A and B are shown apart, each in its own frame.
Chain A
């Protein structure tokens, strides 16, 4: 047997997060930075879901495939799934705010490069 499925998911999520982090740090285009943030968030969602996996578990939905008596033995942990639903919505909200700021910044300087925004102001 190779890697267990959740291990594979965990590594995928962590690598995706690293790619996102690299994108945020290296790129100068604001849209690419936003894509980097989204990748980072998506990677973290995959990591959280992966940690909820239980060996040979199935989705925690009670039906013919998963009778109520077997739920405790065969279902995966439902808590990380519930948390990730929350996290996805918040990630969407943050992305929407970042994109609207990008539109405003583009209007101010007619460019999306962060090199054009050097003056500090508070």
Chain B
């Protein structure tokens, strides 16, 4: 019976979605908003990656809110899992040690993963990437570390301090924008620099790096909470 109702609901949604898919036609030109962003981000902000320019400057406040959501999730996951009763001894099988493939693979891949994460974070204004993406790459390296060495202990205090410091600096940069430039989180507080150079695009690389550090620390804390 449940399956019948589920099928009915899914088919009804399928009809709605089919209408969407049939009525959709590929756009041949970007919208006016997109055109404005495509012109403004390179010319006004000096960032080669338009998506990063939108995320960090034009929608900077939204990105700050998003980081706040991640922080709240890290806190609430900690709260939900902190009271967990440890399973009675003997009722669970002892965890199998990680295979040799994982242990040796981690030794090779881990430095590259962290390096690549840092590269993605600091090149967010020039090529595909940015704080969130690079932070996620670093956190995936942390997952590999935890899988390969189950005994490793992540220092929660260090992660919390790093994360809070990055957050405070992020907001400070935003407030500096109020005084030195056009508004909160305006990236014009630093000189625009040569287009396409590593040090360019005002405060965008700085904000991107802080964002990356914060996201990596938060995701690592969330991952570590699930481990215990």
Partners in one complex: yes
Q: Are A96 and B77 in contact (CB under 8 A)?
A: yes
**Given A10-B24, A85-B55, A89-B132: A63 and B196 within 8 A (CB)?**
yes
CA distance A4 to B94 in the complex (A): 52
Q: Are B51 and A60 in contact (CB under 8 A)?
A: yes
B interface size (C-beta, 8 A) = 58
At the interface, yes or no: B108 with Cβ under 8 Å from chain A?
Answer: no
Contacts of A63 on B, CB cut-off 8 Å?
Answer: 48, 126-127, 196
Nearest-Cβ distance from residue B124 to partner chain A, whole angstroms: 11
Q: Are B26 and A93 in contact (CB under 8 A)?
A: no
| Smallest CB gap from A51: residue in B | B24
Contacts of B76 on A, CB cut-off 8 Å?
Answer: 97, 100
**Contact-residue size bin, chain A (C-beta under 8 Å from the other chain):** 35 or more
| Smallest CB gap from B223: residue in A | A96
CA distance A10 to B13 in the complex (A): 15
Nearest-Cβ distance from residue A2 to partner chain B, whole angstroms: 13
Q: Are B27 and A17 in contact (CB under 8 A)?
A: no
Q: Are A77 and B34 in contact (CB under 8 A)?
A: yes
CA distance A18 to B85 in the complex (A): 37
Q: Are A61 and B26 in contact (CB under 8 A)?
A: no
Q: Are A72 and B38 in contact (CB under 8 A)?
A: yes
Nearest-Cβ distance from residue B160 to partner chain A, whole angstroms: 17
At the interface, yes or no: B81 with Cβ under 8 Å from chain A?
Answer: yes
Contact with B along A54-87 (1 / 0, CB 8 A): 1101011111000010011001111101100110
Contacts of A10 on B, CB cut-off 8 Å?
Answer: 20-21, 24
Nearest-Cβ distance from residue A80 to partner chain B, whole angstroms: 9
CA distance A42 to B219 in the complex (A): 19
Contact with A along B59-101 (1 / 0, CB 8 A): 1001100100110010011001100110000000000000000
Using CB atoms and an 8 Å cutoff, list the residues of chain B in contact with chain A.
2-3, 5-7, 9-10, 13-14, 17-18, 20-21, 24, 26-31, 33-35, 37-39, 41-42, 48-51, 54-55, 59, 62-63, 66, 69-70, 73, 76-77, 80-81, 84-85, 126-128, 130, 132-133, 195-196, 222, 225-226
Using CB atoms and an 8 Å cutoff, list the residues of chain A in contact with chain B.
4, 6-7, 10-11, 14, 17-18, 21-22, 25-26, 51-55, 57, 59-63, 68, 71-72, 75-79, 81-82, 85-86, 88-90, 93, 96-97, 99-101, 103-104, 107
